[in-house]
Amino acid sequence: MASPVEQFRIQELVPLKLSENIDISLTNSALMMVIGVFVALLFFWIATARRTVVPGRLQSCAEILYEFIANMIRDNVGKEGMRYFPYVFTLFVFVFLGNFIGMVPYSFTYTSHIVVTGALALTVFAVVTVIGFARHGAGYLRMFFPKGAPIATAPILIPIELISYLSRPFSLAVRLFANMTVGHIMLKVLAGFVVSLGALGAASWGLGYLGAFAAFSMVAGITVLEFFIAALQAYVFTILTCIYLNDAINMH
Amino acid sequence: MPQFEDIASFPSQLFWLLVCLVVLFVVVSRFAIPRLADIMEKRQKMIDDDLEQAERLQAQTESAIAVYEAALVEARTAAQASIRSVSEKSAQEAERRTSEVNSRLANQIREGEARINTLREQALSNIRSVAADVATGIVSRLAGLTSVPQARLEKAVEDAIKEN
């Protein structure tokens, strides 16, 4: 049986090479990203096609999504944060769709790869830092030593603040990647139990069937849990982005 | 784990991530957000318009009620005024008639009194002459005086009447 991490293997679908070393082939991961973008496009297209005053189901969903992200920014960043609404909206949709497309059997979870989540997190980090320096200039360095703190605490406070600031992209990237990876491994392992215990069923006076049934129930339960985590992690990624944006715009 | 081992796939993942993110950003910022914002703005505008119209109609209703009440008050005062004028007129009429009747009656009374007076005076003068005649008769019969001057006799009668 394949290893539980086999599902994360990148498979080349359409070979494409820029040069000898740079391979930008269309892979299963890339295909899912493209599908995600198409799903988003299709969703927004159909949802806003009729533009009814009393929204239908899909339009309601789109409006709820819009209001959800808009409120998240308004509550966490304030009115000024609405300038970055499209960016935050894109991030949420991309991560959300990545997590959910990954829940489809035989598909691929592109958010389970540290390269992808790391790139997303570093982008957030870079954007936030640029915004911070653009708005406050050198004053943004105050982030690492808040006003009112005793000067004697500087040798301790500044390194701590610096490390916590610099560790943001890592925590952001690892949280999403680890949640997705672990969930999928867990599903794979438990589903493997169903098969292997089921195979033992007849030879073990039916005990194997019992075990297989227990494992199957867990797979079912964890599948539900994974759907929840898929939504939750997209939310966490987005709200942390909002909180970092708030730090950059309003300082703290 | 392939996530850490398959470094050769990183450029491809990053490339497609960039492409997809950019395309998704364009889709979201140029398509989804404007359309959704437009829909919700229109709805909000419609709600606001409806509320505004309701308020306007409410104001219209209130002004109509005010006009109606003003008309009612006006009609009531007009009715009261006409009632008052009618009653005043009839009171004046009655007074006029009463005074007319009164004056007529007073006239009649005055005329009657005048007639009574003349009649009484006539009667009195008749009484004098009768009394003078009677006195002449009495005097001539009792005293045998026939040559009592008429003037003196009349004077005596007059005095006698006055004493009574």
Contacts of B17 in chain A (CB under 8 A): 33, 110, 115-116, 119-120
Between A3 and A1, name the one with better pLDDT. Answer: A3
pLDDT tens readout for residues A164-181: 999 999 999 999 999 999
Which residue in the block uniquely carries the two structure tokens 């002004």?
A: B63
List beta partners, residue A27. Answer: A12
ipTM attached to this prediction: 0.90
Nearest one of A115, A108, A86 to A6, comparing CA atoms: A108
Between A74 and B153, name the one with better pLDDT. Answer: A74
Whether A8 sits inside 8 A of B1 (CB atoms) is: yes
Nearest one of A107, A126, A98, A121 to A175, comparing CA atoms: A121
Length of chain A: 252
pLDDT tens readout for residues B76-133: 999 999 999 999 999 999 999 999 999 999 999 999 999 999 998 888 888 777 877 8
Q: Which residue of B has its CA nearest to A115?
A: B10
Q: How far is A49 from chain B (nearest CA, A)?
A: 9
Confidence of residue B163 (pLDDT cuts 50, 70, 90): confident
Report which DSSP code applies to B158: H
State the amino acid at position B64 in one-letter form. Answer: A
Between A6 and B67, name the one with better pLDDT. Answer: B67
pLDDT tens readout for residues A41-99: 999 999 999 888 888 899 999 999 999 999 999 999 999 899 999 999 999 999 999 99
Chains A and B form CB pairs within 8 A to the count of 128
CB A76 within 8 A of CB A90: no
Mean pLDDT along residues B51-60: 96
Nearest one of A27, A120, A169 to B8, comparing CA atoms: A27
Mean pLDDT along residues A129-151: 87
d(CA A237, CA A241): 6
Q: Write down the pLDDT at residue B164.
A: 65
CB A53 within 8 A of CB B40: no
Mean pLDDT along residues B127-150: 78
Contacts of A14 in chain B (CB under 8 A): none
Please report, for chain A, the start and end positions of each structural domain, with discontinuous segments joined by +.
29-250
Q: Which of residues 19-58 of B touch A (CB under 8 A)?
A: 19-21, 23-25, 27-29, 31-33, 35-40, 42-43, 46
Contacts of A53 in chain B (CB under 8 A): 42-43, 46
Between A133 and B162, name the one with better pLDDT. Answer: A133
Q: Write down the pLDDT at residue A42.
A: 95
Q: Write down the pLDDT at residue B32.
A: 93
In this structure, what token pair is assigned to residue A176?
């999403």
Between A206 and A188, name the one with better pLDDT. Answer: A188
- For the ranges A25-39, A111-125, B128-142, the lowest mean pLDDT is seen at B128-142
Q: Write down the pLDDT at residue B113.
A: 93
Q: Which residue of A has its CA nearest to B32?
A: A44
Mean of pLDDT over chain B? 89
- For the ranges A25-34, B48-57, B138-147, the lowest mean pLDDT is seen at B138-147
Q: Would you say residue B157 has pLDDT above 80?
A: no
CB A47 within 8 A of CB A58: yes
